[in-house]
Amino acid sequence: MAAENFVQPAIPRFDGHYDHWSMLMENFLRSKEYWTVVESGLADPAADVVLSDAQKAEHEALKLKDLKAKNYLFQAIDRDGGRQSNFAEKEEDSEITLLMAYQALNQTERRILNKIFVKIPTNFDGENEEEVPTAVSGNSQNDVDDVPNSNLAPIMEAETETPTNSRAQRIRKRPAWMSDYEGISIAMNARIIGSGSQDLILAHGYGVDQSLWDKIVPDLAEHFRVVVFDWIFSGAVKEEHQHLFDPDKYSSYDAFADDLICLIDDMNLNLPLVFIGHSMSGMIGCIASIKRPELFKRIVLIGSSPRYINADDYEGGFNKSEIDDIVSNIESDFQNWVLGFPSLVVDSGDPLSVEKLRKSLANMRPEVALSVAKTVFFSDERETLDKVSTRAL
């Protein structure tokens, strides 16, 4: 499992359907072993009760679990402010983070959180008209009498502020002590080049890295804010982040699509954006656009295919036996495969490009190259194409 500060897509995002989301959130908090404090709540000992050292330690541990549970809930409700909350292992810093996140929420989002939390009046920055949640309460049906238990989608539609694509309005200000937050954009070596009102993401394919785009980025940067990055399988990912690749998680394009969505959220990009995906990234972009269509204005697919293996009524480009041979060669003799494969998929009349691909493949860890190759070559996303509503080229 990837580090907690990276696997943001694992946190169930509130999508307006409270009942379904609450079940997902309960399962998530149970997996983190925080559900006991949600279920039973947290109460401070009476003033006349003297705790032993062991009891004090246990109480402090429960308080920390309570704060962590709240932190995850804020992240689930608010993709911008919550996501950027760099949870500190100190109670005072955590309280500040939670209070700041609460102030950033709109009215409807606060009502959702108040349904989960017990409310008490709190003075924050001189304002006491809002009630800030402090203790988790998982079972109370009367925490907020004006929010029904049924689907909250109608409430969201009626009361949520009009969404905006203005980057300035979406960015949440961070205090200085959050400046070292390392999110997915750090792990994926993401960079923004150029200027302009339209953001454009370039996503590379299998076996390469963001340097694939080096020749065209300067021209694009004259007209767009260009975002380049390395997928987590790339050999260009720094050693301290390489553990984030999980072969089970990335056995389908779905996890890559989640990473792309999280990257867009993490970088507070101007929306909707233009996405250009090469090879496997084309299909990843399509899947991401189905999950979050509001993020994408256009999708451009370069050399992408929903399926690479031929079928009776479909030509993918490879016979099953050819794919089996590629996978077998990667598994049995990776270094020799690296020497021969580039000349098969890149124009032999462009030796510099052949050598560039060869070096990129050689930088990959063999076990990662094998895992991603299986994901790519055995994928079948033909049914996905019918679900894409974003204009694509």
pLDDT (tens digit, 9 = 90+) per residue, 70-101?
Answer: 777 777 765 444 334 343 444 444 444 455 45
What is the spatial distance between Cα 83 and Cα 78, in angstroms, rounded to a whole number?
A: 7
- Indicate the range of 16-20, 21-25, 278-282, 327-331 predicted with least confidence: 16-20
Is the Cβ–Cβ distance between 135 and 118 less than 8 Å?
Answer: yes
Phi, psi for residue 228 in degrees, rounded to 5? -120, 150
Per the model's pLDDT, the better-predicted residue between 254 and 45 turns out to be: 254
pLDDT at 332 over 60: yes
Average pLDDT, the chain: 75
**What local confidence, expressed as pLDDT, does residue 310 receive?**
95
**What local confidence, expressed as pLDDT, does residue 386 receive?**
93
> What is the set of domains in the chain, with CATH numbers?
8-176 (no CATH), 184-392 (3.40.50.1820)
pLDDT at 198 over 70: yes
Burial of 167 (0-12, 13-18, 19+ CB in 10 A): middle
pLDDT-derived band of residue 109, with 50, 70 and 90 as boundaries? low
Percentage of the chain beyond pLDDT 70 is 67
Q: Where are the beta strands (DSSP E) in 142-215?
A: 191-193, 199-203
pLDDT at 235 over 70: yes
Which of 15-29, 51-65, 313-327 reaches the highest mean pLDDT?
313-327
What is the spatial distance between Cα 362 and Cα 359, in angstroms, rounded to a whole number?
A: 5
pLDDT-derived band of residue 5, with 50, 70 and 90 as boundaries? very low
Per the model's pLDDT, the better-predicted residue between 109 and 211 turns out to be: 211
pLDDT at 42 over 80: no
pLDDT-derived band of residue 67, with 50, 70 and 90 as boundaries? confident
**Tokens encoding 282:** 């084309």
Per the model's pLDDT, the better-predicted residue between 42 and 381 turns out to be: 381
Helix or strand holding residue 185 (H, E)? helix 184-187
Helix or strand holding residue 195 (H, E)? none
pLDDT (tens digit, 9 = 90+) per residue, 255-265?
Answer: 999 999 999 98
Compute the average pLDDT of residues 126-144.
38
Compute the average pLDDT of residues 182-193.
87
CA 10 to chain centre: 8
pLDDT-derived band of residue 119, with 50, 70 and 90 as boundaries? very low
pLDDT at 296 over 90: yes
Helix or strand holding residue 228 (H, E)? strand 225-228
Q: How many helices (H) and strands (E) does the chain have?
A: 17, 8
Give this prediction's pTM: 0.57
pLDDT (tens digit, 9 = 90+) per residue, 143-165?
Answer: 333 333 333 333 333 333 334 44
